[in-house]
Amino acid sequence: MALISIIEDFHPLANEKLLSRAEELRPILRHTIREPIGGFRLKERYSPEKDEIVLHQLPHLSLGKGENLCLDFGEHLVGYLTLELSYTGSHPDAPAFLKLKFAETLGELSENSQEYDGWLSRSWIQEEYLHVDLLPGRLVLPRRYAFRYLKITMMDTSPKYKLLIKQAECRTESSADLSAVRALQSGDTQLDRIHAVSLKTLANCMQEEFEDGPKRDRRLWVGDLRLMALTNAVSFRHFDLVKRCLYLFGGSRFPDGRVSANVFTRPAVEADDTFLFDYALLYTVTLEEYLQDTNDSEALCDLYDIAMQQIEYALRQLDESGTVKEEAVKDCFIDWCEELDKTACATAVLLYALRYARRLARRKNDWSQANFLLQQYDSLRQAAMRRFWDEERQCFVSNSQVSAASQVWMTLADAGTPEQSGRAMRKALSLTEGPRMSTPYMHHYYVTALLRVGLREEAEEHLRHYWGSMLDAGADTFWECWDPEHPERSPYGGSVVNSYCHAWSCTPAYLIEKYLLETINKED
């Protein structure tokens, strides 16, 4: 399922007041300097087999034609690279022709990117070919990279000299201060580690905006923002960054007022011409949650109408059954999953957002709107139950498909009674066939739906299994896409463009702090 939307002559609606407020809220970036902790040589160009190299050998290791050297920085970093280069042998009589490959994971390092043939641009692959004319010399790369490993391949030199990497350093960048956040010390090693990696993932995605992934797309998306904001509230509490992002979305929108699925912020703020039905609704949810945390009356006043517009647009997308019509369902994201029928999910996300919109209206003392939203919620809920609840199977069915995603979103929307939701989630737990959830984004909502119906142990077990298996597979930060049974799965047609530090996977820290900690401590 390629997500490519191209609207000709797209001219987003700009709200200068909101954009200048967003600008005032631009955070200061923090920096640290990191050096490699060791290295290795890949035995063959694309083989995972390697010869380890200890740190003190690195500056003495020479690179001749065809040889490679991989530096391990010990943890996932986001920042800028500087290399101090030199040579052994005679004076260089030809440029050094280098290939640099930055990789977030070991697997990515040994992948042959030439084999990638997916629908997302290969320009996201972090590879550079460079000519270095002067040695010794310092090479400062202008681009920001997300990586733990750097593979340097000597594409060509001359028989007269070999290259030396005397020193390497990364100047990291983030608007989060990881050292200011308390690490979890529950005594449970797995949960402590999951919590730490969640926060590291979030920190590395916290730049001048909440980026979805510092490798790709390096951009602010609504669905990712919502989950980052939740985790931020129990950790960094950098609420001005959430506010900035809400203002950016509000400041550049579709001409009819809809919130775009993502915005570009450089060189200037501009909404992307991609609309996602569920993401626009999550804007309203995110605003209400931000206000719960901050009580920010300025944001309520500035963004209230925009949040309501998203709901009103969605309410205009109902068909004769009273549920979301197919054309609008097509704009729904939910998860990267081709086979998933999203019809029930689309209606459920609208129901879910209506609850938050009502809270917003009450917060604004807009009682007639609150009343209107309540009526809309009731009639949509009835329509949803009529169309999607299967009395015989005791679960939600979306165009004859039973999926975890439909049970999850209908449960989160409180579409049925608590008993019906409980049965739906038990059904979700027992599914062995049908569309498989593929992203931590969807798995987050799965865990919250289990918690909503009181399946606390199952929720914890799922969290441990899903995010824990990513750790077992070598994650330093959590990934964009992960199916433990299909580790190579990628929505893009090749895992080399997958992001391995992805914002929407940061929520275990939130889930642990908000729901699990109390009981874990009691069990101790």
> Footprint of ligand RAM on this chain (CB under 6 A)?
212, 217, 221, 223-224, 333, 480, 504
Q: Determine the Cα–Cα distance for residues 421 and 413; give it in Å rounded to an integer.
A: 10
Q: Determine the Cα–Cα distance for residues 497 and 114; give it in Å rounded to an integer.
A: 12
Shortest separation between residue 167's beta carbon and ligand RAM, angstroms: 34
Shortest separation between residue 162's beta carbon and ligand RAM, angstroms: 41
Shortest separation between residue 4's beta carbon and ligand RAM, angstroms: 10
Shortest separation between residue 355's beta carbon and ligand RAM, angstroms: 22
Q: Write out the DSSP string of 16-31.
A: HHHHHHHHHTPPPPEE
Q: Determine the Cα–Cα distance for residues 321 and 118; give it in Å rounded to an integer.
A: 38
Q: Determine the Cα–Cα distance for residues 196 and 498; give it in Å rounded to an integer.
A: 22
Shortest separation between residue 118's beta carbon and ligand RAM, angstroms: 12
The smaller minimum CB distance to ligand RAM, of residues 111 and 272, is found at 272
The smaller minimum CB distance to ligand RAM, of residues 151 and 200, is found at 200
CA angle 163, 169, 171 (to 5 degrees): 145
Shortest separation between residue 262's beta carbon and ligand RAM, angstroms: 7
The smaller minimum CB distance to ligand RAM, of residues 313 and 333, is found at 333
The smaller minimum CB distance to ligand RAM, of residues 214 and 422, is found at 214
CB contact at 8 A, 98 and 177? no
Q: Determine the Cα–Cα distance for residues 100 and 114; give it in Å rounded to an integer.
A: 15
DSSP state, residue 443: H
| Residue from 380, 361, 384, 386 nearest 371 by CA | 361
Which pair of tokens denotes residue 220?
């602010």
Q: Are strands 13-14 and 50-53 parallel, antiparallel or unpaired?
A: unpaired
Shortest separation between residue 203's beta carbon and ligand RAM, angstroms: 17
The smaller minimum CB distance to ligand RAM, of residues 242 and 455, is found at 242
The smaller minimum CB distance to ligand RAM, of residues 224 and 331, is found at 224
Count CB-CB contacts under 10 A for residue 79.
Answer: 23
> 3-state DSSP call for residue 492?
coil
Q: Is the dihedral of CA 13, 335, 207, 127 positive or negative?
A: negative
The smaller minimum CB distance to ligand RAM, of residues 249 and 504, is found at 504
Q: Tokens 């990586």 belong to which residue?
A: 147
Shortest separation between residue 50's beta carbon and ligand RAM, angstroms: 30
The smaller minimum CB distance to ligand RAM, of residues 12 and 223, is found at 223
Q: Determine the Cα–Cα distance for residues 237 and 202; give it in Å rounded to an integer.
A: 12
Which pair of tokens denotes residue 395?
């679960």
